[in-house]
A and B are shown apart, each in its own frame.
Chain A
């Protein structure tokens, strides 16, 4: 579902963020992208979301060829994925419910379906009780679960989590990770970008190591659940 062939990305400043990367991620995989900061992890994500264009090489994501994708098709590419940000990116003026519903309303889903689906997803991440609260009234872990709920609500084939546990307490990190594992078990591909090795060691899965814009390791770590 994600296919990179000889992909390089050079920024206008001249810095080479990705260097001849070839890689495939199939449906249903649980993947960690690890590496020090500045290794090219963020660029990898931006290319998948088509926030950046590759300088050379072929990329296809969820059936969209990103080399010649039309501008007006980009929103539809993004609807096939849900994104969880390190800084949550929740709108504080509106309730938890509306933050999650935002993603559905933004793609024109009827209000009736929105209500049913958002209630279901908030129950899934354990936040039904807090749906009327404002995000700032919640803990960091809870805010990240709202963000995860928003990523999940449109039932995407792919979840991308960019340092999902970077801004929350370690014990709450496990809750988030367990949710991601649960989501993966239901058939959704999950890609987690992180530099926290203990998470990787604890949960396992496919591990892709990036350093200096190159893939320096790609293996599967089995962990007893």
Chain B
């Protein structure tokens, strides 16, 4: 194809959108609905995952050190814990502080003799994890540190959270796949309807000797532009709705609200995903349906 044609072909694509206003509007409407429904499923599942992992955050592991360890060695050990992969933060919890807490709860007398060197408690660290589902691995790494004596066992909770997390992920993926298929089905039908009214032009183009690429490009441009417009509008709608929904959840459950992903963090991904999939769906949809007609000849295209 000659280079000078490309400008004309791209212009044709945009002109076609205006020439076939009703069909373009219908396609944009369908595409927006599909993007929003699928997008809502993804965002909901992301938030559910974020909520579940926040449950894990609330749960700290307590790492008890060797009771014989000196104060200075115990403090130094903190650096080693912090260096581990999955550790978000660690807080030193001295044995003096431990005995003070017992004294407050159970009374002075019982612990009077357990001051200073007589303190039977070990030093410990309160460790927060980045990802609670990696609990087991992190515990193993902690155990390898010289001077670590015992670790509070939370593996049952960790297992439950991990399972819940997986469940939400699978349900989310399944929902997105099903909605994606429904989307493809609706969109391919919309494109089919659009093409039906355009067969005539395709048959004329072929009869005057237009190459397949030449016939295809305006349709591709048209499909991609419709995808782009739908992507932008879907993003705007989604971003506009997202925050009010999150605020409404705040009134229902503050815990869920606190774990929700803030709009400022998620909007670039929403916009990018909507634009990308909108353009891709538009391009694939028009490519496939034009190809169907390009294979045919003359009257066949028109169904005669």
Contact = CB atoms under 8 A, between A and B. Distances in A.
B214 A110 contact: no
A207 B54 CA distance: 89
A103 interface: yes
Interface string B201-219: 1011111111110100000
Interface stretch (A7-15, A73-81, A126-134): A73-81
Contacts of B196: none
B5 interface: yes
B5 A51 contact: no
B215 to A, nearest CB: 8
Contact of A106 (B4, B19, B210): B210
A146 interface: no
B298 A102 contact: no
Q: How large is the interface on B (under 10, 10 to 19, 20 to 34, 35 or more residues)?
A: 20 to 34
Contacts of B5: 105, 108
A78 B204 contact: no
24 contacts: A46-B297, A50-B297, A51-B298, A75-B209, A75-B211, A78-B207, A79-B209, A82-B208, A83-B207, A89-B200, A89-B207, A91-B204, A93-B19, A102-B204, A102-B205, A102-B208, A105-B5, A105-B8, A106-B209, A107-B208, A107-B209, A107-B210, A108-B2, A108-B214
B302 to A, nearest CB: 9
A171 to B, nearest CB: 28
Contacts of A75: 206, 209-212
B248 interface: no
B208 A79 contact: yes
A150 interface: yes
Nearest to B8: A105
Contacts of B203: 89
B72 interface: no
B291 to A, nearest CB: 13
B1 interface: yes
A108 B206 CA distance: 13
A94 to B, nearest CB: 8
A91 B4 CA distance: 24
Contact of A78 (B1, B200, B201, B206): B206
B298 A89 contact: no
Given A75-B211, A106-B208, A111-B8, 11 more contacts: A72-B211, A75-B206, A75-B209, A75-B210, A89-B200, A91-B200, A93-B19, A105-B8, A106-B214, A107-B208, A154-B209
A161 interface: no
A49 interface: yes
